[in-house]
Structure 1
């Protein structure tokens, strides 16, 4: 098999993908309430609220992914785990940039979604941003944080 085929096989591992998706759903349950609260209370602009909510989720998701989704993929030891956490944050900054740009772009549209007299369009854009960045995060985390293709 070629390196590309090996890499695609590793990325297409159903169990790992499902776990990553499950952990991502948990991350969304952390991110969205924080981002939404910061936006709806006008403490931060929506795109900056998204940054705060996402960073909180990234830390929790890393810990779960490291112990469950990619169990056995990284080098053992505390120092190695800290290096993976730093690398994960750097890697996920790409996904965060995607989310920032999606929220910024969508909130720039002339759209209004009223719920009980409150425009929630900015909040609606946040799960859309999560969905768009999911693929970027899965591929980059798999290849660069846990280096799954290098283990074959």
Structure 2
């Protein structure tokens, strides 16, 4: 029996236009790269001839395996069953429709096997990545899903990618509850991993067949994100929880800044006699400074880096982001109050929330980014 070092999972449903070509293409990549790979097609009981085509190819492709799932259909469910049946310790997931460039498979394999990463993700949104031939509506939906996913995984530029590779141990005995199309989110949220690598790629819309994106897919995705968040809170050992601890700390620091701001505003105005707007300028700057120091030493552990030049760089970045956050807060307050007719107090609360999201994610990914 051949000992495989890589299992490539191809989930399918009515892919008769693509299945033979994708299997031949993947087989060619494995042969040319010298990788002992298994091609595992997991099909949702297609009725268009996909299964018959794969069964015919089994006669000439010993590296090919087929699983037909008569029940509990869904791309994510198919991939999870592929995880369970994979014969190799490294697993790659790709679409059957050539949306994912099969020639990059050796790079994913090398990232896991040679470089030691637990997860390798094909990203459309990192430098060098792109999307071809998508209408503006689908781009907006995809970008929205990605931004929503980055709430859970701020460091990953494309957490909803369907093109990824993992060590099998990442999902071993993981409490995966697959739904919809975003199986990578489930893996990242509930799997055991410490590091990851992103490889840029150009996503090309399917060459043949029809896209299966539906409104129910969006609802499944929202439910999945909620489930991952609840799971992280209950278990508190996942990478999601590590990130949410930063969000919580950042929030507490922000609350402390309100007290600093208010206290200094009151003291300078009532005891020193400054004009209240002048006092407000000093109060805002004081709260920005204290917020920076607390976030640097507590929230993001930047205090471990004692080089003063880098501290100043982080402080300047934090200052700019904070000022822009104030502008965003005021803009939301004005728009919701003047154009939507919302009570100004509620508008201000909404503005504070939007500004908080802005401040956290920009600071998380730029001011205190790793490296």
Query: The TM-score by the shorter chain falls in which range?
Result: 0.5 to 0.7
Given that residues 20 and 69 in structure 1 are in contact (C-alpha distance below 8 angstroms), is that contact kept between their aligned partners in structure 2? yes
Matched with 1:44 is 277
> Aligned to 1:24, which of 220, 238, 254?
254
* 1:113-132 equivalences in 2 (<5 Å): 128=349, 129-132=351-354
Structure 1 unaligned blocks of 5 or more: 110-120
Q: Which has the higher strand share?
A: 2
Maintained 8 Å contact 1:91/1:144: no
TM-score, with length taken from structure 2 = 0.29
Q: Please, which runs of 5 or more residues in structure 2 have no aligned partner?
A: 1-120, 126-145, 156-239
1:83 equivalent among 303, 313, 316: 313
Larger fraction in helix: 1
**Aligned positions, number:** 133
- Kept in 1: contact 2:328–2:355 (CA 8 A): yes
Q: Cα gap change, 1:57/1:105 in structure 2, threshold over 3 Å: closer, same or farther?
A: farther
Residues 1:19 and 1:140: Cα distance change in structure 2 (over 3 Å): same
What's the TM-score, normalizing by structure 1? 0.63
- Tell me the SS of whatever aligns to 2:355: helix
Instruction: Indicate the residue corresponding to 1:139 in structure 2.
Output: 361
**Distance in 1 separating the partners of 2:330 and 2:303:** 30
SS of 1:44's partner is: helix
Higher RCO (Cα < 8 Å, 6 or more apart): 1
Instruction: Flag the 1:73–1:16 CA change in 2: closer, same or farther, 3 A.
Output: farther
Change (3 A) 1:53 1:125: farther
Q: Equivalent of 1:62, from 292, 297, 307?
A: 292
8 Å CA contact retained: 1:19, 1:69? yes
Q: CA RMSD in A?
A: 4.2
Corresponding position: 1:9 with 2:153 = yes
